Amino acid sequence: MLSHNLLKRGCGVMALVALAACGNDTANHANPTAADAKQFLADAQADLQQLQLPAVQAAWVYQNFITEDSAALSANLGEKLSSAAVRYAVEAAKFNDVDVDPDTRRQLELLKQSLTLPAPADAAKSAELAKIGADLDGMYGKGKYCRDNGECLSLPDMTLMLANSRDPAEQLELWAGWREVSPPMKELYIRQTEIANEGAKELGFNDLSDLWRAKYDMPSADFANEVDRLWGQVKPFYDALHCHVRAELGDYYGEDIVPQDQAIPAHLLGNMWAQSWGNIYDIVKPKQDMQVVDVTQALKDNNVDQLQMVKTGEAFFSSLGFAPLPDTFWERSLITKPADRDVVCHASAWNIDDKDDIRIKMCTQQTGEDFQTVHHELGHNYYQRAYKDQPLLYRGSAHDGFHEAVGDTIGLSITPKYLKDIGLIDEIPDANNDIGMLMQLALEKIAFLPFSVMVDQWRWKVFSGDVAPEDYNKVWWELREKYQGVRAPIERPADAFDPGAKYHIPGNTPYTRYFLAHILQFQLHEALCEIAGDEGPINRCTIYGNQDAGKALNALLEMGMSKPWPDALDAIAGTREMNGTAIANYFAPLKVWLDEQNQGRQCGW
């Protein structure tokens, strides 16, 4: 998860400073000119840069030291930043009819669209919005489930237990227990939506959903259609995977627990949100013996601890020709969970000063999953550093899906060949074992696709008012069943607010970016493997050690947001369209195998 390049996450700048910054009155002429627009952008970006650093530092401290004081400090500085960003966005709209060059126009549009939760001009509401955001962050970060015997479990504890448990009673207890954290969030979330919608309307958008969908170099309605198109391309593969997984779970637990004509109970899929299914590989894997690399075991066998995992990720990028991470990265990152305090454990990559102070924040565990996550988060950091010399408004990815895709593209190069090259395994399993490896990856990547679509489908309905607060939970589960074929394992009360049990809801992180990233990463991987000259199966390719691929990747990263995303995609992949066909190419052998397994089964729900 990317965090805290301020404008990209929707913080902003303070109204008081914005007023002072406009002392030259460039944005307030009765007839503003192109020169006024350029001066306005220069002034705005200078002030945003100055205000951004202390706000991001405060956010970092808060997420690493969750106290009332750190929450208040983060909320205060974030509110000042947010208020000013809103003012600048409103001021930018005054140049809508001014004839300016394309670069100036792009920066003006990005400034208007830069906010995730735009605060209204009303100072009291702006402060309230900031406080709600900090409160929701804290409620999630401090969330625990306490059992009847007094034992209290944190989310990382429960996540690990759920991954390994095969006792449906315990799985249900953990699943339901974590969802006790979110009901108190609901009223805050309702109010937050009301205030942010007001802010979005002041910027000229219909509501917050309209603003969120407008960030993709196309009209917001067209973007919604684009998401539907891409989902339609990959849905047949998901349906085949779902059919096989449900049948195997039915064999394992019994069809009284997993009926074969219904959605799958969410607590049985090895993940707190049933968003990825890799932890149940042992249940659904091919029956024939296969040599599939166990990365978790390889890390343990080679005594690769959490710090060394991050060092290994850095070495991957170094092999592509990227400069080493700065000393401050190692001095200031949070790599393991502290024993003495609460922190927000959700993995994230931070760009503190928009230059060289890049960090990760992870409660890293010695697992194959976190080995992948380390490479992903470092992908954010290297992207952040690559575009650091762009103007402030261009310091971001081509669109937010690109930021998520880059690290995952690197993750696709964590193949057996790569693991052998770095000494984690001694031999590369032959191609006869690929079905097992592809199944493992599909349980992570393909299983995730419908979840990554439905989260924002729910939010867009909430923001637009199509779903009333009393129906939040009902519609959440309707969408989960529609897209995922997953259902709540027990009856959920209307006020349960199960969406809040997923970090990105109280954290207000747009989620469609992850869907787009899952489409893009396979496109980028396919393109980079071609540049690297790899002629083998795409699923066995690694770009580790190939500096031609590294140069091509860096050229994309350095562009930042300076060009529309089709230009960025075309530069590396030779196409201006996101496309799910690379996924079909990558997983083609598994699709054939799944179709064979599913013959005679009842698929669908």
How would you label 445-479 residue by residue, b for 16+ Cβ within 10 Å and e otherwise?
bbbbbbbbbbbbbbbbbbbeeebeeeebbebbbeb
Tokens of 564: 């529309």
Tokens, residue 49:
């840069």
In angstroms, rounded to a whole number, what is the distance separating the alpha carbons of residues 188 and 296? 39
User: Can you name the residues that pair with 350 across neighbouring β-strands?
Assistant: 3, 359
Residue 486 CA to residue 266 CA, distance in Å, equals 6
Question: Taking a C-beta distance cutoff of 8 angstroms, is the pair 178, 143 a contact?
Answer: yes
Which residues have C-beta within 8 Å of that of residue 340, sequence separation ≥ 6? none
First to last CA, the chain: 32
Helix axes 368-386 and 547-559, enclosed angle (nearest 10): 60
3-state secondary structure of 2: strand
Paired strand residues for 334: 361
Q: Are 522 and 412 in contact (CB under 8 A)?
A: yes
Q: How many CB atoms within 10 Å of residue 57?
A: 18
* Class of residue 99 by CB neighbours under 10 A (exposed 0-12, middle 13-18, buried 19+): exposed
187 φ, ψ (degrees, to nearest 5): -65, -40
Active-site residue numbers?
A: 377, 504
Phi, psi dihedral angles at 146 (to 5 degrees):
-110, 125
- Give CA–CA dist 200/198, Å, rounded: 5
In a 3-state reduction of DSSP, which class is residue 144?
Answer: strand
Residue written as token pair 């927000």: 344
Pairing of strands 2-3, 348-351: parallel
Alpha carbon distance 322, 319 (integer Å)? 7
State the SS3 of 511-550: CHHHHHHHHHHHHHHHHHHHHCCCCCCHHHCCCCCCHHHH
Alpha-carbon distance of 80 to 13, in angstroms, equals 5
Left, alpha or beta for 260 (phi > 0: left; psi -120 to 50: alpha)? alpha
